[in-house]
Amino acid sequence: MKILVVDDEPNIRRTLRVALETMGHEVQEAASASTALSEVERQPCDVALVDLRLGGESGLELLESLRAQSPRLAVVLITAHASIDTAVEAIRRGALDYLPKPFTPAQVRAVLERVDQVRGLRDRVADLEQQVRDIVPEVELESSDPQMQQVMELTRLVASADAAVLIRGENGTGKGVLARALHAWSKRAGGPFVTVNCPSLSSDLLESDLFGHVKGAFTGAVRDAAGKVAAAEGGTLFLDEIGELPPALQPKLLRFLQEKRYERVGEAKTRIADVRLVAATNRDLESAVASGDFREDLLYRLNVVELTLPPLRRRSDIRTLAEHLLAFFSRQSGGRLKGFTPEAHDRLARYAWPGNLRELRNAVERATILAAGPLVGLADLPDRIGQMQTDASRSIEIGQSATLEQVEFEHIRRVLVAAPNLEAAARILGIDPSTLYRKRKQYGL
C-alpha cells in the first residue's frame, strides 16, 4: 500500500518508514497538516498514519480535512494519550483505527491488516453494486428477429448442460446479459454468478484475481485471498473479453477447464472447484490463434457450445427494442414520454450502432432525461445519431464544429478499430487499459 506518515517528530517518521518499507509498503512523509494535505493531493495514497498532536495542530482536524479531500483514504490516528475517549472521537470522525504510542511493528502490521480487510470489503461492496447494476432490469430477451430467436432457443437448450459456452458478438450486443440468462436457466441458478473482466488488470493481478493468492506471495499480499474461481463455487464464472487473456495465463485456464484444478498464486497446494465457465469475446479468436496470440487448444475447450449475438444494425427489431427501452425509462421518470417521432425512428433504424444495444440503451436513457415530450425527437438523441449524415462514418475534423465529447468518442472509436488489442489501443491513447475499458462502456463502444 501507499502510506503517508504524518508526524512532527522526525524520529517517529523514520522508525515508521523503516518498519513499513520492510513490510513492502511505499512511504511518503509529512511533518505538518498542510504538507499532509498537499502530499495527498499530489499523489493519492491508501492509508495515512496521523499523529494526534502535530506541534500546535490537531490530528483530529487533519483527519477530517483528509477525509473530505480524499474519501477513500483510510486514516489511522497515532496517539500517546490513548484513552477510550480519544479513540471513540477519532472513530466518530471517520478514522479507521488508532495506534497507541509507543507501538511495536507487530501492532502496526495488525492495524494495516485490518485496513486491508476493510478495503477488501469495500471493493467487494463496489463489486456487488456493479453486479446489481449489471442485472439490468431494462433487458428484453424476447425478440421477433429470427437470428435472435435462434440464439435464445439454443441458449435455453444448453443452459442445463454443464459444458463451457463461448458467446461471440460485437461490444454491447448483450453477451454479458446472455451469460446471466444462461446461468439463471441452468441448474446452477441458485449458485453465484461471478464476472472476470480479462482486459482490466495486468497479467499478474488477473491471475491472483482469478485463482487467489496466499499472504506474502507478492508485495502488497498482506493476507490470503480466495479469488473468483473459488467465489463462483457451485455457480458460473463469466470470463468477459477472453480474447484479451494474457498468454501467460492461458495454459493455467486451460488446465482449469480440463481438470477443474488450480493453485493460488504463491502456493503449491492444488485445489478443485465446481464451476461452469462461460466466456465472451468480440474478437475473431481464430485469427488470434493464427497470429499466435491465443492458444488453439484453449479455444477448442472454450467453444464446446457457441452462441453468436447479431450486431444491432442487422436486427429487424430495433424499433421494438427502442420502444421497450423508452417505456422502461419513461416509467421510472413518471411516464411523460409516449414514443418517438417518425424522423427519430427513421434515424434509429438507419444509424450504424457501433456500440450496439449498450449505445441504444444509453441514447434512450439520455433522451428520457432531455426530451420535453410527449415524443422523443431528433434533437433529443445524441449528436452523433441525431445529426448523422447518411454516411454513418462522417468525419470529425479537429478544430471544426464538434464537441469535445464527439472528438473523444470518434478518436477512441477509430483507435480501437485500428489497434490489434485493447492494450495497444490504450498505449496509443496514452491512458490506462482500465480507463479505456471504462470509456468504452461510457460511450457504448
Ligand X SMILES: Nc1ncnc2c1ncn2[C@@H]1O[C@H](COP(=O)(O)OP(=O)(O)OP(=O)(O)O)[C@@H](O)[C@H]1O
Contact set with ligand X (CB under 6 A): 136, 138-141, 169, 171-177, 240, 280, 282, 357-358, 361
Q: Closer CB to ligand X, residue 255 or residue 324?
A: 324
- Rounded distance, CA 309 to CA 347, Å? 23
Report in angstroms how near the CB of residue 417 gets to ligand X at its nearest: 15
Q: Hey, what amino acid is at 346?
A: D
The residue of the chain with the least Cβ separation from ligand X equals 174
Report in angstroms how near the CB of residue 355 gets to ligand X at its nearest: 8
SS3 at position 298: helix
Label the pairing between strands 2-6 and 26-30: parallel
β-bridge mates for residue 4, sequence order: 28, 48
C-alpha angle 46-132-128 in degrees, rounded to nearest 5: 30
Distances (CA, A) of 153 to 36, 145, 270, 315: 60, 12, 38, 17
CB 241 within 8 A of CB 170: no
- Rounded distance, CA 234 to CA 275, Å? 6
Report in angstroms how near the CB of residue 361 gets to ligand X at its nearest: 4
Q: Closer CB to ligand X, residue 28 or residue 155?
A: 155
Q: Closer CB to ligand X, residue 213 or residue 315?
A: 315
Q: Closer CB to ligand X, residue 7 or residue 323?
A: 323
Q: Closer CB to ligand X, residue 174 or residue 310?
A: 174
First to last CA, the chain: 33
Report in angstroms how near the CB of residue 409 gets to ligand X at its nearest: 15
Q: Is the peptide bond before 420 cis (omega within 30 degrees of 0)?
A: no
CA-based radius of gyration for the chain: 26
Report in angstroms how near the CB of residue 197 gets to ligand X at its nearest: 8
- Rounded distance, CA 271 to CA 226, Å? 11
Q: Closer CB to ligand X, residue 13 or residue 315?
A: 315
Q: Closer CB to ligand X, residue 96 or residue 325?
A: 325
Q: Closer CB to ligand X, residue 112 or residue 179?
A: 179
Q: Closer CB to ligand X, residue 59 or residue 169?
A: 169
Give 54-96 as a DSSP string: ETTEEHHHHHHHHHHH-TT-EEEEEESS--HHHHHHHHHTT-S
Report in angstroms how near the CB of residue 160 gets to ligand X at its nearest: 21
CB 223 within 8 A of CB 117: yes
CB 260 within 8 A of CB 237: no
Residues ≥6 apart with Cβ < 8 Å to 261:
255, 270, 271, 272
Report in angstroms how near the CB of residue 399 gets to ligand X at its nearest: 31
